[in-house]
């Protein structure tokens, strides 16, 4: 096993190995433990249900961003029950109260069901945002640029470069 050790190392691992004094280890287990002790802090540690529970939506954060952050942490959390994940998601909804109310009234039993419901709400939020932007745009009529000799419908004589 120790013969294959250098083959699987990346550049940093090779540098570490080259820096070791000769005959540093008497067994594969000693080498393995020294390697683990040296590199364990650089490895991302598995998450737990408490990491999920610390995720909160933020003021003015799109719902889709909260779902993405939560889902990302959920993937890093190897041991969780569906109920724990669902509870953590609902607990984290501080600013998306309509979705929170819906989930509290009809609690999903599976994480997939939770994420589908949340995605549907995020889609609805996106549509509402587009409608609000359209309404705001309709309140202000578009300004015409008559500086290039274009015809201005508010003042037919202005911008008309033809001689009359």
**pLDDT band, very low/low/confident/very high, at 155 (cuts 50, 70, 90):** low
Digit-coded pLDDT (tens) for 43-101: 666 676 678 889 999 999 999 999 999 999 888 887 778 899 999 999 999 999 999 99
Q: What is the CA radius of gyration of the chain?
A: 30
**Least reliable range by pLDDT among 22-26, 45-49, 106-110, 158-162:** 158-162
Closest CA to 79 of 45, 40, 43, 104: 45
pLDDT at 18: 76
Tell whether the model's pLDDT for residue 146 goes beyond 60. Answer: no
Tell whether the model's pLDDT for residue 149 goes beyond 70. Answer: no
Tell whether the model's pLDDT for residue 150 goes beyond 50. Answer: yes
Q: Give the residue, 107 or 161, on which the prediction is more confident.
A: 107
**How large a percentage of the chain has pLDDT more than 90?**
35
Coil, helix or strand at residue 37 = helix
User: Taking residues 97-108, what's their average pLDDT?
Assistant: 94
Specify the CATH number for 49-139; select among 1.25.10, 2.60.40, 1.10.1200, 2.40.50: 1.10.1200
Phi/psi region, residue 143 (left: phi>0; alpha: psi -120 to 50; beta: rest), is: beta
pLDDT at 130: 87
By CB atoms closer than 10 A (0-12, 13-18, 19+), residue 85 is: buried
pLDDT at 133: 84
Report the chain's terminal Cα–Cα distance, integer Å: 97
pLDDT at 164: 47
So where are the chain's domains? 49-139
pLDDT at 38: 77
């Amino acid at each position: 096993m120790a013969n294959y050790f250098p083959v699987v190392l990346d550049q940093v691992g090779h540098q570490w190995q080259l820096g070791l004094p000769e005959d540093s280890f008497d067994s594969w287990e000693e080498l393995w433990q020294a390697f683990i002790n040296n590199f364990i802090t650089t490895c991302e540690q598995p998450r737990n249900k408490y990491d999920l529970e610390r995720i909160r939506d933020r003021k003015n954060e799109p719902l889709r961003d909260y779902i993405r952050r939560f889902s990302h942490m959920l993937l890093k959390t190897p041991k969780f029950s569906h109920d724990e994940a669902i509870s953590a998601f609902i607990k984290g909804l501080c600013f998306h109260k309509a979705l929170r109310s819906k989930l509290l009234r009809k609690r999903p039993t599976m994480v997939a069901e939770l994420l589908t419901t949340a995605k549907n709400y995020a889609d609805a939020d996106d549509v509402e945002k587009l409608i609000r932007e359209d309404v705001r745009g309709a309140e202000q009529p578009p300004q015409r640029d008559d500086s290039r000799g274009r015809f201005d419908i508010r003042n037919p004589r202005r911008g008309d470069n033809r001689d009359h």
